[in-house]
Amino acid sequence: MTPTNFAISAVEALSKTGVSIHVKVREWAKENGMNGFLAASRGSGEDPIFLELLYNGCDPCEKPIVLIGKGVTFDAGGLCLKNKDSMAYMRGDMAGAACVVATMRAITSMKLPMNVRGLIPLCENMPGATAAKPGDIIKAMNGITVLIDNTDHEGMLVLADALSYSTKYDPKFILDVGTLTKDMQHILAQSATGVFTNCSHLWTSMKNASIHTGDRVWRLPLWRIYDQQIKPEHVSCDLTNAPVGRNGFSCAVAAFLRHFIYHYKWIHMDTYGVMLEHSDTPYLRAGMSGRPTRTLVEFLAQISCRPTHDIKGGVCYPPEMARATEEEVKKN
């Protein structure tokens, strides 16, 4: 699947749901200074695409929630080329983007009373003649300079610009999801999605949602000490996309992304470990799992809860559904 193919599939899936879809192309990304996103896509013959999805379920003046999905439709590693075995499932590196599309479709069918924006940067990371080179320095959308020390860490560059762009909405909070670090397989295996957040209240809601769905999440630290691993050595720029040392790699990547969210509440979900199923989970078929879509939908449904009378048997309903349920109870 190419970025264009994904965009077409997303439009087909959402066009009749009430979600507004805006398809942005390379020139738009250039105009907005998304140099990290563009650097990740430079080696491919396929043009990058940036999808912007808009759902308004309540007062348009109410601040939206922003969902961001990593959409690398194939990750060969760029000039820091992966080996054959590592490329085997890299068509699934757009799992975060697919999760956001599925979540947007679900919340529209549930008519959740909230405003949501979905941002999906789509590209391929290939070793073409014009690919970004190790040692290149780019200026991200928010002005931070980044050393591209490893072209196989393209997800950090792609999400950095998407996170910067998301702040234009002045959102309630930002949530990004994607297959960022292979280390998650060693930390949590297939048991849970790794979650990093700067807001304990959001973590509590996410944890409760995962208990309801059975698709588990686990919080990992976002301590300032990890900033030391993303400082370039002997190079005059702000950050590097190749954290120093192998220990705490997933935490260092989260620390990198934190530099692009300003003061906003934020959740980062690293789904590399749960991307693929080998028939170990009874209720999931073998192959790409689609996780953590169930938990993300449940999380949004729970935080959209209004007064307690809208909660029926542990399930949160939008106001109009709650009223309908109350009328049925009275009839019976």
DSSP, collapsed to helix, strand or coil, labels residue 68 as strand
Q: What pLDDT band is residue 178 in, cutting at 50, 70 and 90?
A: very high
Question: Domain span at residue 55?
Answer: 3-329
CB environment 154-177: b (16+ within 10 A), e (fewer): bbbbbbbbbbbbbbebebbbbbbb
Identify each DSSP E strand in 71-192 by its residue range: 71-75, 115-125, 136-139, 145-148, 173-178
- pLDDT of amino acid 315: 44
- pLDDT of amino acid 307: 40
- Give Cα separations from 328 to 63, 90, 319, 331 (angstroms): 33, 49, 14, 5
Torsion sign over Cα 111, 112, 114, 116? negative
Q: pLDDT at residue 285 above 80? A: no
Q: What pLDDT band is residue 155 in, cutting at 50, 70 and 90?
A: very high
Is omega for the bond preceding 292 within 30 degrees of 0, making it cis? yes
Q: What does the pLDDT average to over 101-121?
A: 97
The DSSP output letter for 332 is -
Q: How many CB atoms lie within 10 A of CB 188?
A: 20
Q: Tally the domains of the chain.
A: 1
Report the distance separating Cα 102 and Cα 276, nearest Å.
17
Q: Is residue 66 within 8 Å of 176, Cβ to Cβ? A: no
Of 57-66, 135-144, 221-230, 276-285, least confident by mean pLDDT is 276-285
- pLDDT of amino acid 2: 97
- CATH code, 194: 3.40.630.10
- pLDDT of amino acid 326: 46
Q: What pLDDT band is residue 245 in, cutting at 50, 70 and 90?
A: confident
- pLDDT of amino acid 320: 52
Residue 185 Cα to chain centre, angstroms: 18
- Give Cα separations from 6 to 96, 108, 221, 274, 305 (angstroms): 12, 20, 33, 21, 32
Report the distance separating Cα 105 and Cα 92, nearest Å.
20
- pLDDT of amino acid 332: 42
